[in-house]
Every structure is written in structure tokens, then in C-alpha cells.
């Protein structure tokens, strides 16, 4: 929320379907994807989110948010579901535990400018991408860590931790384009 406010966006938390209906774009943040899934069911958000994503709502998923946007999740908890929309297969906790968190400078041609300082915390990795998905960033070993497809954007890492704003700017560009 801090990064979006810094960029001049009007920001509000979204926890219920009525709140979802009032926003023009959405960030699904990091955290625990299985807990976000359970809460989305408890608050009646899963189906409205799926409908809005399918209807073209601009959405940016960071870390757990990427997992929740993926059409397929590997190593999910029993019964865990995603909202879908991104034609990718994502593996949860692909880099290990919290102790295995790390930082990496990533070259992201689509963003221009200097490398992105990416902070990975119990991060997922994209194991497979569909034809309509653009790969935005990979690690040096080739593992995919940032993707986009239409109005959906996903990163394995947390750009907000390093005050990186360009991914959020990209989301806001999609919001403006959809409104015009």
C-alpha cells in the first residue's frame, strides 16, 4: 500500500466482495498462500476474485500473490486452490525455508533502467509458462521469477521490500488503460 500511495494511487484494503467491486486494480500481497486461500473462502471472496480476474481486472501478485494467480500450484497444501488467470505452473517454497531467503539483482528489460533488487522470502518459482505468458525476469540459472499475461503481473519476490516501484507502476499503467 505504501508503494502505491507513493505513486499517487488511491489505496484501500480489500477484504469483502463489496470492497472488490469498488477498486480498479488489485495487489495480492505476499504472505501464506494457503491462508489467503482459506480466508478468501471464509469471506466469500474466491468466486468474485475469479470473476474479476477473468473479466480483466488488473492484478499484481507478489510471492504468495503469484501462487494465487497461477492456474496450477505444485506443493500446495491438501485442498489448496488458486484464483487462477495466469497460464503458469508455480511451485510453492521453491527455494526452501525462511532461512533460505536471499536477494538478487535482476535484469528486467521490460522495465528499463537499472537492475531490480529482488528480495526472495520463502518464494515460489514459475516452472512452466503458457504461450500467452511473457517472461519478465529469470535468475542466472534460468528459473522464471517474474511474468505477465494481459492485465496480470506476478513476481516471486517482494519489490516493495527494496523500495522498487516499477512493477507497481506497470500495474497502474494497466489500470489507467482499462479505465480509458
Question: Would you call 168 a catalytic residue per the annotation?
Answer: no
Q: Which residues, at least 6 apart from 99, have a Cβ–Cβ distance to it below 8 Å?
A: none
Q: From the candidates 52, 148, 158, 168, which is the catalytic residue?
A: 158
- Of the residues 22, 32, 52, 63, only one is catalytic, namely 63
In the structure grid, which three cell numbers stand for residue 83, read together? 484464483
Q: Please, are residues 123 and 157 in contact by the beta-carbon 8 Å criterion? A: yes
Q: Spot the catalytic one: 19, 22, 32, 160.
A: 160
160 among known catalytic residues: yes
C-alpha cell at 173: 499503467
DSSP class of residue 24 equals S
CA distance 174 to 30: 21
Catalytic residues: 63, 158, 160
Amino acid at each position: 500500500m505504501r508503494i502505491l500511495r507513493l505513486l499517487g494511487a488511491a489505496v484501500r484494503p480489500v477484504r469483502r466482495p463489496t470492497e472488490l467491486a469498488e477498486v480498479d486494480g488489485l495487489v495480492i500481497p505476499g504472505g501464506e498462500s494457503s491462508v489467503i486461500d482459506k480466508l478468501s473462502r471464509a469471506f466469500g471472496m474466491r468466486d468474485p476474485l475469479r470473476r474479476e480476474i477473468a473479466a480483466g481486472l488488473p492484478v499484481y501478485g507478489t510471492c504468495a500473490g503469484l501462487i494465487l494467480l497461477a492456474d496450477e500450484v505444485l506443493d500446495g497444501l491438501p485442498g489448496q486452490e488458486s484464483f487462477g488467470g495466469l497460464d503458469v505452473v508455480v511451485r510453492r517454497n521453491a527455494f526452501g525455508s525462511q532461512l533460505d531467503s536471499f536477494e538478487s539483482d535482476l535484469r528486467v528489460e521490460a522495465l528499463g533502467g537499472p537492475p531490480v533488487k529482488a528480495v526472495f522470502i520463502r518464494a515460489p518459482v514459475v516452472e512452466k509458462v503458457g504461450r500467452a505468458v511473457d517472461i519478465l525476469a529469470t535468475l542466472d540459472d534460468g528459473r522464471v521469477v517474474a511474468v505477465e499475461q494481459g492485465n496480470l503481473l506476478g513476481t516471486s519476490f517482494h519489490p516493495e521490500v527494496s523500495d522498487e516501484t516499477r512493477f507497481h507502476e506497470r500495474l497502474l499503467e494497466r489500470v489507467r488503460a482499462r479505465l480509458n
